[in-house]
Amino acid sequence: MELAYGHPKSLKPIQTKYCPGCGHGVIHRVIAEVIDELGLQGRSIITNPVGCSIWADLYFDFDSVQPAHGRTPAAATGVKRVLPDHLVICYQGDGDLAAIGTAEIIHAANRGEKFTTIFVNNAIYGMTGGQMAPTTLVGQHATTAPFGRDPIEAGMGYPIRVLEMLATLGGTKYLARGSVNNAANIRKTKQYIKKAFEAQMRGEGFTMVEILSQCPTNWSMDAGESVEWLEKNMIPFYALGEVKNTLEEAAK
Partner 1 sequence: MAEDIRLMKGNEAIAEAAIRAGCSAYFGYPITPQNELTAYMARHMLTRKRTFIQAESEVSAINMVYGASAAGARSMTSSSSPGVSLKQEGISYICGADLPAVIVNVARSGPGLGGISPGQADYFQSTRGGGHGDYYHLVLAPKSVQEAADLTYEAFDLADEWRMPAMILADGLIGQMMEGVVLPADRDLAKLPKRPYAVGHQGETGREINHVSSINLVPLELEASVRARFERYAKMKETLVRFEEVQVEDADLVLVAYGTSARVSLGALQEARKAGLKVGLFRPITLWPFPEKRIAELAGKGKRFLAVEMSMGQMVEDVRLAVNGKAPVDFFGRTGGVIPTEDEVLEAARKILGK
Ligand X SMILES: Cc1ncc(C[n+]2csc(CCOP(=O)(O)OP(=O)(O)O)c2C)c(N)n1
d(CA 145, CA 140): 8
Residues touching Mg ion: how many (CB under 5 A)? Answer: 4
Shortest Å distance, C-beta 219 to ligand SF4: 8
Least Cβ distance, residue 147 to partner 1 (angstroms): 33
- Which of 21, 51, 67, 216 touches ligand X by CB under 6 A? 51
Q: In the bound complex, what is the minimum distance in angstroms from residue 122's beta carbon to ligand SF4?
A: 5
> Which range in 18-26, 97-105, 187-195, 196-204 contacts ligand SF4 by CB under 6 A?
18-26
Residue in 11, 133, 193, 199 binding ligand X, rule: CB under 6 A: 133
CA distances from 93 to 69, 105, 209, 247 (A): 10, 12, 12, 25
By a kind-dependent CB cut-off of 5 to 8 A, residue 238 interacts, out of partner 1, ligand X, ligand SF4, none, with none
End-to-end CA distance of the chain, in Å?
Answer: 34
Cβ–Cβ under 8 Å, residues 87 and 49: no
75 binds, among ligand SF4, ligand X, partner 1, none (CB under 5 to 8 A by kind): partner 1
Where do the DSSP E strands lie in 76-224?
87-93, 116-121, 172-179, 206-212
Cβ proximity of 194 and 37 under 8 Å: yes
Give, as ranges, the residues between 199 and 218 that touch ligand SF4 (CB under 6 A): 215-218
Query: Cα 77 to chain center, whole Å?
Result: 17
Q: Output the residue with the shortest Cβ distance to ligand X.
A: 93
Site residues for Mg ion, 116-145, by CB under 5 A, read: 122, 126
Q: How many CB atoms lie within 10 A of CB 224?
A: 11
